[in-house]
Structure 1
């Protein structure tokens, strides 16, 4: 492996899946969170997807030496919970590979930047990560060097293979949609690195604008792929549909922020999550900041619910199915956070 695994703060909206051990800190009472229920819990299906994903991670080289921790993160269960409209393990695995590769960017590249080794390198690393999913078309003389780097760096290899292996299940438009959402994710990661280099916490509004991108949005972008249908690009890109999608993405990651603070109870290093930013800006306790974060989460979920209900009135069956899939994704995400040992071990 080209780089050692290191734990670190949030990113990808996915501190949920950090493989670091839980912080030793007092647990807080979890605030009330408004969220849909999960629609199924097929443990056998989740375990099958998870074991296949662990094998794939070994093939591409990510999390070498961390296999059991990666297995315990249980991405297979997360995919099973968040996509209740299919019981096809191949489709679930296709999305799981993309998710694991995105997590690897966070766990390796962003964690190194957060650790202070060379934070200025993160932009270049994220550029190469984007190139892995949207391959550079280079002159013949330099192409071998590029291809060698893509093969030998485990994270880049995982990204490239995950998108290639999604292709049998997704149209060209759906793959391009994923590329677009991942580009936004990487932009959000780079912004957090900028805050770290500057040694500053952003205002709440700026943090939330970033978090909308640095979220589970690339995962949500695949709900129709996993479901075996396609929401047309002309519909996906409509401003009203885009608003609903972004509300769901923001809600998904604000829930993650609340569960992270519930588990961690604070940390020695600066954590870029909503409670920390609220506490700094408003001068309140972290307990109060967690409660206010939960309120913002709940408001966002209700805004998505209202937007989806209004959009469904048009009677477009594909759009209605897509919106229902986003709603189901939020419910599965909540159940995974609520039941994962990552958040529920004292």
Structure 2
């Protein structure tokens, strides 16, 4: 299948200016040095002047539905708005009176799932059903016909995962369905590795290192002698996770630039290292300290998903900008916050599995001597702190590096964070909340 055509990069700053008015960005310019001082960095270069009042909004890709268009600007709006915790008023890029109501003030249809009470999050519009339907159709055909991912008896679980709805919600700026499929195949492949190697469907901590290493060669190819190369190539079809990794990565590298592909390989290696740490604790029945668990979760987390937001969006964040320490911190915080969302929404599901399944509430209860309820509520607090830190650092980076692709990438990461929460909250097939309120 040919690689999708990549659209040229577009600046999100004109879009922001048309949405908020020129005075908003002008205000951001005037406070840029104050923000740099607040975060401890040296004064940065002067920002460009704000676009004139009345600038035309950035064009919307032709196959984006009207319902998606507001979501495309919501991420950068939130980044420019800045964090909302105590002591963060000086880091805001939008005046307080221009902010939308807090999430707690927004009603939620009970049929779509209840949000964790007290959780800091940003609601999104329901993902475009036309796109969801097409992505769902294509990903199931890929899973069945191209990689033979699962046996017939797992079909309900595959459908219940609702991966099409997940990825459409997380990537509102994807210009085409095929761009969405890049993320969707990788998401399904990563979950196949997690289920079949680590957890639900025959997974085990015993021998996990060998399985992960061999699967990783489907992402990061082995270069060996002619005698042994055919054996390795054959091994890539040996089981469902390797078949899925190989195929998903082949599609991805056709669309991605070399640095984007290498970036993904790096973050997948991080993910696999996190799997191994958790497996080591499982083999010794060890409950780590809370900080140790959070360190593991910085690796065993969703980071590979938002890190490809530019490829899925049809543009490229250059390697030197992606590698900036402040950008890496933003991506890490986004991954950490979204992973704690998973811990919170999957808490009751994991309690029903055999043995002890580590998640943040379980670790806090064990290590800090709290009740299950208090440990869960403290985990909500940990998530909220991570979210505020993510937004603080993203707002500061948006000011420190006013490059159009940086602005767009930050918007994409923020959209992924919001879409991830929406999927967890609304996926009542998989998740339900504990009765702690």
Q: What TM-score bracket applies, with the shorter chain setting the length?
A: 0.7 to 0.9
CA distance in 1, matches of 2:115, 2:338: 20
Question: For this pair of structures, how many residues does the alignment match?
Answer: 318
Partner SS state of residue 174, structure 2: coil
Matched, 1:84 2:172: yes
Compute the TM-score of the two structures, normalised by the length of structure 2: 0.69
Distance of 1:113 and 1:79 partners within structure 2: 23
Instruction: Render the CA deviation track for 1:173-228: whole Å, top value 9, x for unaligned.
Output: 10000000000000000111100111111111011011011111111111001111
Q: Deviations over 1:201-258 (max 9, x none)?
A: 1111011011011111111111001111111110111111111110000001001101
Query: By how many angstroms is 1:29 displaced?
Result: 9.0
Paired position in structure 2 for 1:307 = 393
Is 1:170 paired with 2:263? no
Q: Which has the higher helix share?
A: 1
Instruction: Indicate whether 1:332 and 2:419 are aligned.
Output: yes
- Pair 1:241 & 2:342 matched: no
Name the counterpart of 2:269: 183
CA distance in structure 2 between the partners assigned to 1:289 and 1:337 by the alignment:
20
* Secondary structure, aligned partner of 1:218: coil
- Report if aligned partners of 2:345, 2:432 keep a CA contact under 8 Å in 1: no
Q: Secondary structure at the match of 2:218?
A: helix
Q: How does 1:96-245 map to 2 (within 5 A)?
A: 96-111=184-199, 119-245=205-331
| Aligned-pair Cα RMSD in Å | 2.1
Who wins on radius of gyration, i.e. which is larger? 2
Deviation sequence 1:108-140 (CA, Å, 0-9, x none)? 011279865xx3310000101111111101211
* Cα separation, partners in 2 of 1:67 and 1:103, compared to 1, 3 Å: same
5+ residue gaps, structure 1:
1-27
> Could you tell me how far apart the structure 1 residues matched to 2:169 and 2:122 are?
12
Using a 3 Å threshold, how does the CA distance of structure 1 residues 267 and 158 change in structure 2: closer, same or farther? closer
Q: Is the alpha carbon distance of 1:112 and 1:32 closer, same or farther for their aligned partners in structure 2, counting shifts above 3 Å?
A: closer
Task: Please name the residue that 1:317 is paired with.
Answer: 404
After superposition, the C-alpha distances for 1:253-295 in whole angstroms (9 at most, x for unaligned) are 0011011115555655111110000000011111111111110
| Partners of 2:310 and 2:409 within 8 A in 1 | yes
Stretches of structure 2 lacking an aligned partner (at least 5 in a row): 1-113
Shift of 1:168: 2.6
Aligned to 2:431: 343
Residue 258, structure 1, aligned to residue 350, structure 2: no
Q: CA deviation at 1:30?
A: 3.0
Distance 1:267 1:157 in 2: 27
CA distance in 1, matches of 2:227, 2:372: 55
In the TM superposition, residue 72 of structure 1 has moved relative to its aligned partner by: 1.9
Superposed displacement of residue 64, structure 1: 2.1
Q: What is the TM-score with the length of structure 1 in the denominator?
A: 0.87
Tell me: CA distance 1:262–1:291, structure 2 relative to 1, closer, same or farther (3 Å).
farther
Deviation at 1:68, TM superposition (A): 2.9
Deviations 1:64-103 (A, max 9, x none): 2212320221111000000111251111011110111111
- Residue 152 of structure 1 aligns to a residue whose secondary structure is coil
